Amino acid sequence: MTEELAAFRGFAYAAAPESRAIVRLEDGYGLFVGGEWRAPAETYTTISPASEEPLAQVGQASAEDVGAAVGAARAAFEGEWSALRPAERAKYLFRIARLLQERAREFAVLESLNGGKPIKESRDVDLPLAAAHFFYYAGWADKLEYAFPNRRPRPRGVTGQIIPWNFPLLMLAWKIAPALAAGNTVVLKPAETTPLTALLFCDVLRQAELPAGVVNIVTGDGRTGAALVEHPDVDKIAFTGSTEVGKAIQRELAGTGKGLTLELGGKAANIVFDDAPLDQAVEGIVNGIYFNQGHVCCAGSRLLVQESIQQPLIEKLKRRLATLRVGDPLDKNTDVGAINSATQLQRIEEFVAAGELEGAELYQPPCTLPERGYWFAPTVFTNVAQSHRIAQEEIFGPVLSVLTFRTPEEAVEKANNTAYGLSAGVWTEKGSRILWAAQRLRAGVVWANTFNRFDPTSPFGGYKESGFGREGGLHGLEPYLRFDEDSTEWGG
Ligand code: ADP
């Protein structure tokens, strides 16, 4: 039997790699300050987590570099940017949105290369949504008086933005688009493992002819982030990342009068009632936890399933998992890509070991993981108790913990039994049950019969240890504005 015939018999997928040729990597990148490239004193190597291949040298910005970026942002704010008519400001945002669309494939390939996420996700989710955020907020730039009637909105000034590695370009868009629409200038720090799309974005800013200093990008690790947080001339900090670092930032900023929004961790419950359409729910569960390798703060990492349907649902889920394709992020057929870093892989492995030790039952579908790079098979834990670490703590990986419930009240109680409160999902045929549950779930977003759906018009953010402040929608503009009637100079 020929190889092709064997492949056909087994319905194996042939490799369908997206070409890397569209991306032109530099050997090294500087820091984007005041519209120019500033040479960093220290650099580090950024890699592809799927192959451990070095991609480029990137700057580790010092406190002095951060100071220069904040200075450039201040000068741009005091200068031409804040004097610009809002409708003119909007034009830059529209331009950026269109350029992102034009260069979408280049950005998608680079995002998958540097971050390890499947190309079909960066192509179909990250890029369209990033452009959509710029389009959406462009529309608000000259309508702020209508957005906040009788409140005289004004920009805050220089905003410092620190983002994580799970949605590098999308998080950049979530942060930069509302900040610019509101008339602020920006110093943004991408995560240390995924700086490349933020650096490519500087070229989009050049094409859009955005005035120098309006957006500055400083790369580096937590030390660079801390320098940005501590800088006295920053008016507002927007942070997305771990709860631990978020708490440290909040402590640091207490009493300074700087504005702060925090979008932190999550441990979302995805609740499946006995009347839910099971096949549809299985798709939602898979999307909820295996999308982006589970590197999603609002991931549906706790499956709460009504006891009477546990067996058929878990059987269907296991069957579905066997069809997930894990591997090369640049292959268009890949469902689950690489874990973002060696550190994150180690964290996931530790949690999974803890789950087994505490007595939960592990299932992983048969799959061959590549030899090089950082990989973890899609994992389901059943027999999970609420006290287990895998039911309490955020794993940020492709690991699902299954718990059961008997009554809707018990489902809600278990769902809310967490330090977090970012998102939740409800699967049921009954609209009344969706509304009943949504009113009781302490989560910023509640999805009904779907999961991980995002839209720039819809606010996103957390309760409790998931942070405060909202991104997206009208709510997402507010933290970037101050209002004349606010009781303190900088507002709350
Ligand atoms: P994770 O553990 O998922 O990597 P982090 O919260 O450590 O999440 O990282 C999110 C972002 O915060 C990254 O850009 C990181 O460099 C930055 N960061 C880490 N430590 C600090 C800090 N002490 N102050 C400010 N930013 C930080």
Is the distance from the beta carbon of residue 164 to the nearest atom of ligand 1 less than 6 Å?
A: yes
In a domain, 9, yes or no: no
* Cα of 237 from ligand 1 centre, angstroms: 13
Residues 260 and 280 placed together within one structural domain of the fold: no
Residues 241 and 338 placed together within one structural domain of the fold: no
State pLDDT tens for residues 413-469: 999 999 999 999 999 999 999 999 999 999 999 999 999 999 999 999 999 999 999
- pLDDT, residue 490, reads 46
In a domain, 19, yes or no: no
85 has a pLDDT exceeding 80 = yes
Residue type, 205: L
CA terminus-to-terminus distance, the chain: 72
State pLDDT tens for residues 327-363: 999 999 999 999 999 999 999 999 999 999 999 999 9
In a domain, 351, yes or no: yes
Q: Whose CA is nearest to atom 17 of ligand 1?
A: 222
Residues 276 and 197 placed together within one structural domain of the fold: no
- Tell me which residue of 273, 254, 211, 199 sits closest to 83, measured CA to CA: 211
Residues 425 and 479 placed together within one structural domain of the fold: no
The whole-angstrom separation of Cα 104 and Cα 124 is 10
Is the distance from the beta carbon of residue 227 to the nearest atom of ligand 1 less than 6 Å?
A: no
488 has a pLDDT exceeding 70 = no
Using alpha carbons, list the distances in angstroms from residue 366 to 318, 321, 323, 325, 414: 11, 9, 10, 10, 31
The whole-angstrom separation of Cα 303 and Cα 270 is 5
Is the distance from the beta carbon of residue 191 to the nearest atom of ligand 1 less than 6 Å?
A: yes
Contact by Cβ (8 Å): 479, 259: yes
Residues 199 and 252 placed together within one structural domain of the fold: yes
Could you tell which of 237, 242, 295, 345 is best to mutate to test the pocket of ligand 1, judged by most ligand atoms within 8 Å of the CB?
242
492 has a pLDDT exceeding 60 = no
Q: Whose CA is nearest to atom 2 of ligand 1?
A: 242
Could you tell which of 194, 196, 245, 394 is best to mutate to test the pocket of ligand 1, judged by most ligand atoms within 8 Å of the CB?
245
In a domain, 13, yes or no: no
State pLDDT tens for residues 20-29: 999 999 999 9
Could you tell which of 162, 166, 346 is best to mutate to test the pocket of ligand 1, judged by most ligand atoms within 8 Å of the CB?
162
The whole-angstrom separation of Cα 177 and Cα 196 is 19
- pLDDT, residue 124, reads 98
Task: State the average pLDDT over residues 198-216.
Answer: 98
Contact by Cβ (8 Å): 269, 424: yes
Ramachandran quadrant class, 266 (left: phi over 0; alpha: psi -120 to 50; beta: rest): beta
Contact by Cβ (8 Å): 381, 391: no
The whole-angstrom separation of Cα 303 and Cα 314 is 10
Residues 191 and 327 placed together within one structural domain of the fold: no
- Tell me which residue of 25, 62, 26, 24 sits closest to 43, measured CA to CA: 62
The whole-angstrom separation of Cα 319 and Cα 312 is 11
Is the distance from the beta carbon of residue 195 to the nearest atom of ligand 1 less than 6 Å?
A: no
Q: Which domain holds residue 177?
A: 28-264+466-488
Report pTM.
0.96
Q: Whose CA is nearest to atom 14 of ligand 1?
A: 191
CB count in 10 Å sphere of residue 457:
12
Residues 254 and 284 placed together within one structural domain of the fold: no
Residue 486's pLDDT band (boundaries 50, 70, 90)? low
In a domain, 23, yes or no: no
Share of the chain above pLDDT 90, in %: 94
Which of the following is catalytic: 18, 192, 263, 394? Answer: 263
The whole-angstrom separation of Cα 431 and Cα 413 is 20
What CATH number is associated with residue 359?
A: 3.40.309.10
1-10, 197-206, 251-260, 286-295 — which is least confidently predicted? 1-10
Is the distance from the beta carbon of residue 241 to the nearest atom of ligand 1 less than 6 Å?
A: yes
Using alpha carbons, list the distances in angstroms from residue 187 to 7, 181, 229: 51, 15, 11
* Cα of 262 from ligand 1 centre, angstroms: 12
Task: State the average pLDDT over residues 360-378.
Answer: 96
Residues 100 and 239 placed together within one structural domain of the fold: yes
In a domain, 461, yes or no: no
Residues 244 and 198 placed together within one structural domain of the fold: yes
* Cα of 226 from ligand 1 centre, angstroms: 9
State pLDDT tens for residues 98-154: 999 999 999 999 999 999 999 999 999 999 999 999 999 999 999 999 999 989 999
Q: Which helix (H) or strand (E) holds 439?
A: helix 431-440
Residues 296 and 156 placed together within one structural domain of the fold: no
State pLDDT tens for residues 156-175: 999 999 999 999 999 999 99
Cα angle: 88, vertex 454, 195; to 5 degrees: 70
The rounded mean pLDDT for the chain is 96
State pLDDT tens for residues 50-75: 999 999 999 999 999 999 999 999 99
Cα-atom radius of gyration of the chain, to the nearest Å?
Answer: 23
Residue 12's pLDDT band (boundaries 50, 70, 90)? confident
Is the distance from the beta carbon of residue 250 to the nearest atom of ligand 1 less than 6 Å?
A: no
- pLDDT, residue 401, reads 98
Task: State the average pLDDT over residues 239-264.
Answer: 97
CB count in 10 Å sphere of residue 108:
27
The whole-angstrom separation of Cα 194 and Cα 178 is 22
Residue 3's pLDDT band (boundaries 50, 70, 90)? low
The whole-angstrom separation of Cα 181 and Cα 390 is 40
Which of the following is catalytic: 202, 297, 471, 478? Answer: 297
State pLDDT tens for residues 167-200: 999 999 999 999 999 999 999 999 999 999 999 9
Task: State the average pLDDT over residues 393-406.
Answer: 98
What CATH number is associated with residue 73?
A: 3.40.605.10
Is the distance from the beta carbon of residue 222 to the nearest atom of ligand 1 less than 6 Å?
A: yes
In ligand 1, which atom is closest to the CA atom of 244? 6
Is the distance from the beta carbon of residue 288 to the nearest atom of ligand 1 less than 6 Å?
A: no
Residues 112 and 128 placed together within one structural domain of the fold: yes
Using alpha carbons, list the distances in angstroms from residue 29 to 26, 40, 55, 170: 7, 9, 11, 21
Residues 214 and 112 placed together within one structural domain of the fold: yes
Q: Is residue 485 exposed (0-12), middle (13-18) or buried (19+ Cβ within 10 Å)?
A: exposed
Residue 487's pLDDT band (boundaries 50, 70, 90)? very low
User: In 149-242, which residue ranges form alpha helices assigned H by DSSP?
Assistant: 168-181, 196-207, 222-230
Decide if 297 is catalytic. yes
In a domain, 345, yes or no: yes
Q: Whose CA is nearest to atom 20 of ligand 1?
A: 222
Q: How many domains does one find in the chain?
A: 2
Is the distance from the beta carbon of residue 162 to the nearest atom of ligand 1 less than 6 Å?
A: yes
- Tell me which residue of 428, 414, 401, 420 sits closest to 466, measured CA to CA: 420
Phi/psi of residue 175, nearest 5 degrees: -85, -50
Decide if 298 is catalytic. no
In a domain, 7, yes or no: no
